Structure formats: structure tokens, C-alpha cells
Amino acid sequence: MIIPRIESSSRPFQGLLINVEVDTLSRGDGKTFIREVARVTDVVAIAAIDDEGRILLIKQYRHSMRGPVWEIPAGRLDVAGETPAEAAARELREEADVLAESLEPLSVFGNSVGWTTETTHLFCARGLTATTPFERLCEEADIEKAWVSLPEARAMIQNGTIADAKTIIGILLSS
């Protein structure tokens, strides 16, 4: 396999959450082609399973989808020096007011490897206890929580109620 060489690179957009790079590549045959890459920080996602075998789903507004989305708790690795497991514990607390006795790594996967560097670190949380409510802002202020049996969650995938990739992977790996 020939690994293309980057002939030139530019960054036409630098934002708060993403940077877009435009690379001109060559396979060494004199021809070039362009690829755009969204560079972002990695994320964590948590399949929180309670003692009854139910998974915690949250519903929140996602601007890219222009509406609410059912998903598992998740968030960016955006605290300096924080490990993925520490970020998962923080996000579970911030988004769902839940503490976990254990966080088991389930998978690390590329979200859309054709155009973004975003990688998700997926954990299974168990030994859950409720904690004091976290003060949420912006779209997180209206988060709804639901404990759903795993068979019901799989049915939500099949009927299109759940369409978020990290959530589908979390449900399937927790089943």
C-alpha cells in the first residue's frame, strides 16, 4: 500500500471546538489530490448500567441535528491532564448526576475516520449512585434522563429512536 505524502497543508478555519486542515497529497506519481480533515479533541462516552441491568440514556438538544437526541452520557477530553477514565467519571457526574464505583474500558473507536480525527473512549460504568444535581448550562440545562432496559434500548436502535453511533456501540457492547 502506498501511503500518500503531504505536499502542502493549510488551516483555513480555527474554531473553539474544531480546526479544519486542507492537505494536498501525492502518491508519488506526479498527481495530487485534496483531503480536508477536522481536527478535534477526543471524547469519552459512558454506558452506565444499573443493578437492574438498565442503561442510562439522556436526551439533549444537539445543534448539528437541529433537535433532541437520545444518547449515552459523553463529553470532550477538554481538561488538561485528565485521563479518559477521569473524564468519563466527570461527564457522568455533570450530565447525569451519577457516580460510578467502577469504569471498565469497552472500546476506543474512530467516529468518522474519513474526515475527522475524533476518537471515542467508551466505558461501562457500574456500581452507580445518585449524587447532588450538577448545575447545567446551555443545551445541557434541559437534559432528560431515562433508565431503559437493554432489550428496549436495542429496539430503540432498530426503530430509529436512537441513531447516535457512540450510543449504539455502547448499547451493543453492554448487552
How large a percentage of the chain has pLDDT more than 90?
83
Cα separation of 48 and 65, whole Å?
Answer: 24
How high is the pLDDT of residue 74? 96
How large a percentage of the chain has pLDDT more than 70?
95
How high is the pLDDT of residue 141? 59
Residue 152 identity (one-letter amino acid)? E
Strands in 119-130's sheet, in edge-to-edge order, are 74-76, 43-48, 119-130, 98-110
Q: 35 CB contacts (<8 Å, ≥6 apart)?
A: 22, 23, 25
How high is the pLDDT of residue 23? 97
Cα separation of 76 and 16, whole Å?
Answer: 12
Task: Locate 88 and state its grid cell.
Answer: 468519563
Residue 136 has pLDDT above 90, yes or no: no
The tens digit of pLDDT for each residue in 53-82 reads: 999 999 998 888 889 999 999 999 999 999
Quickly state the pLDDT bin for 140 (edges 50, 70, 90). Answer: low
List, by residue number, the catalytic residues.
Answer: 140
Q: 172 CB contacts (<8 Å, ≥6 apart)?
A: 154, 157
Give the DSSP per-residue string, 86-122.
HHHHHHHHHHH-EEEEEEEEEEEEES-TTTB--EEEE
How high is the pLDDT of residue 92? 95
Residue 111 has pLDDT above 70, yes or no: yes
Cα separation of 41 and 76, whole Å?
Answer: 7
Biggest CA pair distance of the chain: 62
How high is the pLDDT of residue 70? 97
Cβ pair 145, 58 in contact under 8 A: yes
pTM of the predicted protein model = 0.91
Q: What is the mean pLDDT of the chain?
A: 93
The tens digit of pLDDT for each residue in 84-102 reads: 999 999 999 988 999 999 9
Residue 137 has pLDDT above 70, yes or no: no
Instruction: Give mean pLDDT, residues 13-39.
Output: 95
How high is the pLDDT of residue 54? 97
Task: Locate 171 and state its grid cell.
Answer: 448499547
Give the DSSP per-residue string, 44-55.
EEEEEB-TTSEE
Nearest to 94 by CA among 56, 140, 146, 139: 140
